[in-house]
Amino acid sequence: MAQGRLAGRTAIVTGGASGIGLASAELFADEGARVLIVDRDEATGAEALERVRRAGEAELLVADVAADGAAEAIVATAIARFGALHVLLSNAGVHGSGETPALRFDSSIPINLRAGYLIAEAALPHLQQGGGGAIIFTASVSGPAVGFASPHYDLAKAGLVGLTRSLASRWGRHAIRVNAICPGFIETPFIGPHWTQQRLDDVRHDIALGRLGQPEEIARVALFLASDDASYVTGAAIIADGGWTIHFDKY
């Protein structure tokens, strides 16, 4: 049951058209936030906007978060449409691919790490103007537990955890809390195309809870970090993996 935990606040959710981003946008809106959904897929974004508007107030911005000037444009759009900014969920991400290490690196870092940093910097003055706020990065268990994914992905997500701690230490005096969520294996389109049934079965076997997570379960962690319930939490990287990292040494 909604409790109005984000009533009167504005939130940006990047990568908000599917998976964890969509679930978070819906939950934020249901809890009273005005939500700017940012996604580069216009068709999927339109469908997401329709869903989120059933929960509350929302707008859509079709944009590639890694493009030059995108961070400033995203924040400016939120301010123009809603008048303020209180919460940033930097969730957009890709696995990255390419035939060479350089191509794999260049396909991962701009979206998974650089874009998050730039949009946080763009959001800073507006969060300060509003008396503070919350920044949340969607990292991964490959951040604190590097080694199970591709090196370029591990690097980006570990970088997000480091960025979280760095910004939290610098911006805390402005009443801006910065945290990361480190999801494990979640049933989203991000996993679907890349995983065989055998690999999924093997992963489930080594998750303490015996199943993959749902986007809504990660969204509830994001809501906690966005709300006043987490008023004394900053610089944290919260692992939400159903207990998978307990068995990480098997990989």
Q: Are 247 and 208 in contact (CB under 8 A)?
A: yes
Under DSSP, the state recorded for 38 is: E
The helix/strand/coil state of 231 is: coil
Instruction: Out of 117, 153, 232, 251, pick the active-site residue.
Output: 153
CATH of domain 10-239: 3.40.50.720
What is the Cα–Cα distance from 222 to 215, expressed in whole angstroms? 11
64-84 burial by CB neighbour count: b if 16+ within 10 A, else e? ebbeeebbebbbebbbeebeb
Instruction: Measure the CA dihedral 165/170/175/181, to 10°.
Output: -20
What is the Cα–Cα distance from 97 to 218, expressed in whole angstroms? 25
Q: What is the pLDDT along the chain (251 residues), one digit of tens a residue?
A: 789 999 999 999 999 999 999 999 999 999 999 999 999 999 999 999 999 999 999 999 999 999 999 999 999 999 999 999 999 999 998 776 666 778 877 778 888 999 999 999 999 999 999 999 999 999 999 877 655 667 778 888 899 999 999 999 999 999 999 999 999 999 887 675 667 888 888 888 989 999 999 999 999 999 999 999 999 999 999 999 999 988 765 54
What is the Cα–Cα distance from 183 to 142, expressed in whole angstroms? 9
Q: Are 120 and 135 in contact (CB under 8 A)?
A: yes
What is the Cα–Cα distance from 112 to 151, expressed in whole angstroms? 13
Is 153 designated active site? yes
| pLDDT of 146 | 58
What is the Cα–Cα distance from 124 to 156, expressed in whole angstroms? 22
